[in-house]
Each structure stands twice: as C-alpha cells, then as structure tokens.
Structure 1
Amino acid sequence: MQKRIEALAELASQRGQEEQPAQACKVVQLPLWPESVRAVPNVCLRSALFGAIRKGRRRLLEREIIAAVEGLEIRYTGPRLDQGDLGVYESLLHLLRDQSLGQECHTTSYALLKLMGKKDTGGKGGNREILHRSLMRLGATMVEIRAVGRYSYAGSLIDDVSQDEKTREYVIVLNPKLKALFAPDQYTQIQWAIRRELEGRQLAQWLHGFYSSHARPYPMKIETLHRLCGSEAELMSDFAKKLRKALDAVSDACKDYGEAFHYRVEDGLVFLDQTPSRSQQRHIIQQEAKRKRPSA
C-alpha cells in the first residue's frame, strides 16, 4: 500500500510539472469585434478619463480622482488625456484584438494612422508626431479603477511602448489584466464611421461615446455632463451653448449613417431618444428577464 501511495504521489508530481508550462503559456486575448466598430471599456466612456478638454498645455495629475458615473471610482496619474488620445487607444486595441495580451506587438505609425483614417504625414506638427506624443502619454499613465462589487484594475493603459531606432517600428505591450475591463457588459462597440465624422470635436465625440455606452440613457443634468466630460469651461452658460452644438453635431452624424439620435433640453436636463444597438437590445432583454425571474 505504501509503495502504491508513493507511486501515485510521484505521478501527480510529474503531471504538475507538465501542466506548469501550459499554464504559463495561457493565452489572454480581447474579445473579437467587427471591423466597422471599435470596442472601448465603459470606464473610458463614462468618465473624464479621456476628457473633452481644450488644446494647449496639459496638467499632470497624481492619483487624482477622475469624475465618473456613480458606482465607478477612478484614480489617475499622468498627463490629462483627451478624445484624440482615445482615438489612438481605440485603434491600438482594435489592432491587438487578435493577439495575446502581455506579449510584444510590432506595428508602425503608417499602420496605425491608416487604421485611424489619417494620412501618414511627417515633420513638425504632422500626424506621425501627434501619434507619437499620444502613444508616449498613454504609456506614461497609471490608472486605479474600482467598480463597486464588480471588478478592479490597477496599471497603465499601455504597459510598455518603445520605438526601434532602426526599423522605426513601435513595440507595444498591453497588460493581460485589461481583460477584466472587457467583460460582456463592461465595454461598448462604438460605430467608428460616426466617431470619425466627429473628428476634431472633442465634446461631440465624448457625448457620442457616453450615450453609446447606455442602452437606455436617462435624463442628465447639464452640470453633471459638464463634470463627467471634464470640461474646462468656467461658466455653465458657455458650456450649455457648446453642449447644444455638440449634441446637434452627434445627431447630424448619426442621421448620416441611419441611426436615430434625438435630444431635447428641458429645465436644465438633457433627454435623449436613440435606437439601441443589437448588443444593447440583447442587454435590455436580459435585464428584463432577470427582473421578471421569480425570487427564490
């Protein structure tokens, strides 16, 4: 009996050694999504992490709490990020969605700019320089994310980014723990054509992303939208004017691509009527089924 026990123990040890390499090589990937959309974690869309800020010098933040919807806490360290940075991040996630997180990805400024629908222009102030600066900002970030009772993430938006001096290729690594932000109900598929239509309109792009992340948008105070988008407008009256123009721009862009986006502003509240996407419709059906399910 003793010999049998020793033999079983040795066999178990051998199996454990065989399984370790397999576990170490476990592949962690983002979910796949269609070419026409860009998948974005809701934490990026329902907060001022990628704000609608003015051009110019950016503030450096150190573990500062970022405005976000109720139930979501974000502490951020790094230079302020804007919607241009979000466009770069969306494109990077899109490019890496079929690769293993945690491993090196090699790409070029040409490939990224082409994916973003931009020309590969060099020189001071050209698209290559703008892209490079954005990648460096994203690599110099530290975010601490907590969603009440659901998930957390602490790390950089880009774990590592460098550029080969000879080939000029970018070498980029994303943290495998980012997968937590891509749980089925924690990310949104943004219609890329509509976002591209709003290029250069910071507030309009933020609004498009924010409302796209809600299957059934509820009325929002103008003051709340001002806080959540990270606006630097000092007078609420000025922001209210910009808000209406931005909402008009989103409405026009959505109409051009056959999507409904109708809003009205009453008593300082913004009401929205939009057509839920297919994934949002499935989410609504699932939520209604849960509510109707009898409790034990």
Structure 2
Amino acid sequence: MVKRKPQADRIAELQALADSTAEAALGAEPAYQTTVLNAAETIKHIASNMSRKNIAPAPAVLTLPDNATAQELRSARTKQAARRGQDVYLPNWSSTARALPDVFLRTALFSSSSSVQKQNDQVLAGDLPLVVTNDEIASFSGISFFFSGYRLCQYDRQVYATCLDYYREQPLATDDCPRHIRTSFHAFASRMGGTHNAKTYRSIRASLLRLSFAQIRLRSDCLNIEVPKLLSVGFEDDHPAEEMKGANVVLLCVPEPVAELFGVASWTAIDRQAVDYDGLRGWLANFYATHKKAKWLPIETLYRLSGYESKMSNFRGSVVKALDKLKEPGTPVCSRVAKYHFSKDKTRLYVVREAWPTNDATEE
C-alpha cells in the first residue's frame, strides 16, 4: 500500500518545483525560455489553489486572551462573535439596527406565510400538534439546514431579533452561568417597536414559546453547526392570556451555541424598520439585505425560500408588489430597491438595491 504524503508537504514540493523551474528558465535557450516560464507559472498556480483549499475554515467565534483589553474585544466584535475567558459575546451593532445570522434570512426558517402564524397560535392553544423533527428547510445555495420545533413565521423573526438585541452588550448564557435577562412585556414591546395592549403581549408570549422549542442543525461554509436551543424563556407571575399585563415579568436566556451563527461575513445588521416588515415584503427586504451585489436568481428558488403560501402562478405578481413597496423612499437604505427586472422568459429575477454598486445585468 502506497502511503500518500500530507497535503502540506505536497504543496511545499510544488512551490519549490515552481521556483526551480523559474530559475531554470533563465538558463534555457531563448526559444524555450517562454515555455519554461509558463510552466513555472502553471505549477505555482496549482500550488496556490491547493494551499487555499487546504486552509481550515476560520472559527465562527474568535478566541481572545483572557486578559484582552476592552478595546481588543470591541475590535474583534466588529466582525464576528468573540470569546474572552469564559464569556462569549455576539458581534456589536448599532442600537438603530437588529442583527440576525444570514442562514436565518436566506432560508425558509421564518416563513412569509400568514397561515403559519395562525397555525402556531392554534398549536399553542393545544389544537394542532404541528411540531416537526429534523425537517429539512428550503435553503439558499451552500446551506444544508434541518429544523425541529414549531414552524416559525416573520413575526418570530422580529421577536428573536429583539431577544438578541438584549445581549448586544453582554455575554451569552452558559450552563454554568445562565445570565437570564429580566424584562417585562411592556419593555419588550417597546424595544421591539410594537403597540402596548394585551393582544400584543399575548403574541409576544406565544412567539417566545415557539422560539424556545426551536432546534437547528446546519452546514454552511464547510462548518457543521448545531444549536440545541435558540432561546430559553420563563415567566414570573404568569397569568391566563386574557389577564396579561405589560408589567408581567419575562426571563430571557440566549445560550452560547447561538454565537456559532455569527462568524465573519455570516451575519447582517438590518435597520429596525426593515426587520419589522412582514409578509413577502419582509422576507425579501431581509433576504436581499444579506447580499453584497446583484445577481440573477430563479423565481422558483425565491418561491421555495420565502415560504410563500399561494400557488407558484401567483408568486410573480406578489413579488412585483413587494418589490414596488421596497422601492418607496421611506424604505431603509439597507433594503431599498433601486430597480428590478425579469429575464425574457420570466423565470429569473434581477434585483438591484440602492446601496449596491450600479452594475446593470445583461438581459437574459
């Protein structure tokens, strides 16, 4: 049995061969010099490609020394989640924004379907057993996503973004240190930007319970990530739904594994206003906010990812209405659409955000 050399040794040998071939070109006959130089460049290019593929994926959570300064921690958190000692922090973002992992916004995790919200309210009332286990969620290219729990909707996205915002400046919870955030339904609704009445508080409570059942497993950027629990929640002095008051206490706990979803270039801070959009407009606003440039996308892909509840034949018209709303001047820049157009056969869509470089697509 032939034992293969380690990849690093093979790369080093190719790099050395490229150097020696380039040196040999200097002494070669003029008629062959260009050919030998080209061979050296080809070998160098192969070694470079192998080297890039051999690099292990960067960790999602950057580990800092236990004695790292506050400035070092702040600097690290501009790009990704970071650990200092036993404390793990989410990235930092502006108080005028909300941050969520891209894998949440590029999949059907938070469905645009209003029927999901209605079904979930029935589930928590004990009417429908709609808990799913290891259900594969429609995902954007390069993502494999499995979900267990109650189906989630756009409202759950708004609520979870608010939960994460409570941990914007303090470490996440661990088994040894739960770090519950103590708040009230009134304070939560204010932070979320919602109304203040019993109906709002009931909706928030139902969403928090749905999120507390959620478990995810995914593979993205060559990394396997498992989050056994997105959120733990408790209620002090809990009352029947019809007697809920804004002063009722809520205990929130976002666990440390959630930080694995906030690696470099894997999360997006979105204007609070855009986070609050619902339906298909909300899904599209957040989906496109995670991208850096325009690209053609199949209509069928957007249909699957959005969780659109009607037939495919109705989807294109709904997309047009949603995109036209996102073109309105009041839309935050992070989600404002400058223009869009369909391919000649109407099967693909090209959307340009105002924040992106102006680069017109070739018509398909």
TM-score by length of structure 1 reads 0.78
Corresponding letter in the other structure for 1:143 = I
Q: Hey, what does 2:126 align to over in structure 1?
A: none
Give yes or no for contact 1:194–1:257 (8 Å, CA) kept in 2.
Answer: no
2:156 corresponds to 1:88: no
Aligned to 2:113: 53
Q: Is the 8 A contact 2:281 2:326 kept in 1?
A: yes
> Is contact 2:218–2:225 with CA below 8 Å preserved after alignment?
yes
Instruction: Assess if the C-alpha contact under 8 Å between 1:155 and 1:175 holds in 2.
Output: no
- Partner letter of residue 306 of structure 2? C
Larger CA deviation: 47-56 vs 207-216? 47-56
User: Is contact 2:98-2:275 (8 Å) kept?
Assistant: no
Find the partner of 2:180 among 104, 108, 111: 104
Give, in whole Å, the separation in 2 of the partners of 1:275 and 1:243: 18
Name the TM-score, length of structure 2 as normaliser: 0.64
Distance, in Å, in 2 between the alignment partners of 1:205 and 1:143 is 22
Contact in 2 for aligned 1:52/1:83 (Cα 8 Å)? yes
Q: Per-residue deviation at 1:150?
A: 3.0
The answer to whether the 8 A contact 1:60-1:78 is kept is yes
Mapped to 2, the partners of 1:54 and 1:69 lie a distance apart of: 22
Aligned partners of 2:299 and 2:316 also within 8 Å: yes
**One-letter amino acid matched to 1:141:** A
* Aligned residue number for residue 119 of structure 1: 195
Q: Write the deviation string for residues 177-218 of structure 1: whole angstroms up to 9, x where unpaired.
A: 21111112110111212344x3xx411100011100000131
Q: Is the 8 A contact 1:254 1:261 kept in 2?
A: no
**Which residue number corresponds to residue 206 of structure 1?**
283
**Could you list the per-position Cα deviations for residues 128-159 of structure 1 after superposition, in whole angstroms to 9, with x for gaps in the alignment?**
0000000000001111122141351231211x
Whether 2:143 is the aligned partner of 1:63: answer: no
Distance 1:85 1:253, change over 3 A: farther
In structure 2, the partner of 1:163 is 235
Instruction: Say if 1:260 and 1:275, in contact at 8 Å, map to a contact too.
Output: yes
Structure 2 counterparts to residues 128-143 of structure 1, below 5 A: 128-143=201-216
Equivalent-residue separation in structure 1 for 2:229 and 2:329 (angstroms):
32
Give secondary structure in 2 for the equivalent of 1:28: strand
Q: Secondary structure at the match of 2:216?
A: strand
1:34 and 2:105 aligned:
no
Letter in structure 2 aligned against 1:186: S
Higher mean C-alpha displacement, 240-249 vs 256-265: 256-265
Q: Contact between 1:61 and 1:77, CA under 8 Å: does it hold in 2?
A: yes
Q: Is the contact between residue 333 and residue 354 of structure 2 (CA under 8 Å) also seen in structure 1? A: no
Alignment of 1:232-251 (within 5 A): 232-233=309-310, 235-251=311-327
- Residue in 2 aligned with 1:15? none
**Deviation at residue 260 of structure 1 after TM alignment:** 4.7
Report what 2:270 is aligned to. Answer: 190
Unpaired runs of 5+ residues, structure 2, are 1-65, 67-82, 121-129, 174-178, 239-246, 358-364
SS of aligned partner of 1:74: strand
Distance 1:100 1:213, change over 3 A: same
Amino acid at match of 1:209: N
* Residue of structure 2 aligned with 1:74, choices 131, 134, 145: 145
C-alpha separation between the residues in 2 aligned to 1:39 and 1:24?
Answer: 21
- The match for 1:154 is 227
Name the counterpart of 1:180. 260
Letter in 1 for 2:185: S
Structure showing greater Rg = 2
Change in CA separation of 1:33 and 1:256 when aligned onto 2, cut-off 3 Å: closer
Where do residues 272-291 of structure 1 align in structure 2 (5 Å cutoff)?
A: 272-276=351-355
Secondary structure, counterpart of 2:114 in structure 1 = coil
Higher relative contact order (CA 8 A, sep 6+): 1
Matches within 5 A, 1:247-258: 247-252=323-328
Take 1:76 and 1:61, find their aligned partners in 2: how far apart are those partners? 8
Q: Which amino acid aligns with 2:282?
A: Q
Comparing 256-265 with 93-102, greater Cα deviation is found at 256-265
Which consecutive aligned stretches of 4+ in structure 1 deviate over 4 angstroms post-superposition? Answer: 253-260
CA contact (8 A) 1:104 1:171 kept: yes
1:29 maps to amino acid: Y
Are the counterparts in 2 of residues 194 and 253 from structure 1 also a CA contact under 8 Å? Answer: no
Residue number in structure 2 paired with 1:16: none
Query: Tell me, what secondary structure is at the counterpart of 2:98?
Result: strand
> Displacement, 1:91?
1.0
User: Aligned partners of 1:44, 1:255: CA distance in 2, in Å?
Assistant: 21
Identity percentage of aligned residues: 26
Q: Contact (CA 8 Å) 1:40, 1:90: kept in 2 or not?
A: yes
Question: Matched residues in 2 for 1:179 and 1:141: separation?
Answer: 16
Amino acid in the other structure paired with 2:143: L
Q: Quick one: structure 1 residues 127 and 253, their matched pair in 2 at CA, closer, same or farther if it must change by over 3 Å?
A: farther
Measured after TM superposition, the shift of residue 47 of structure 1 is 0.1
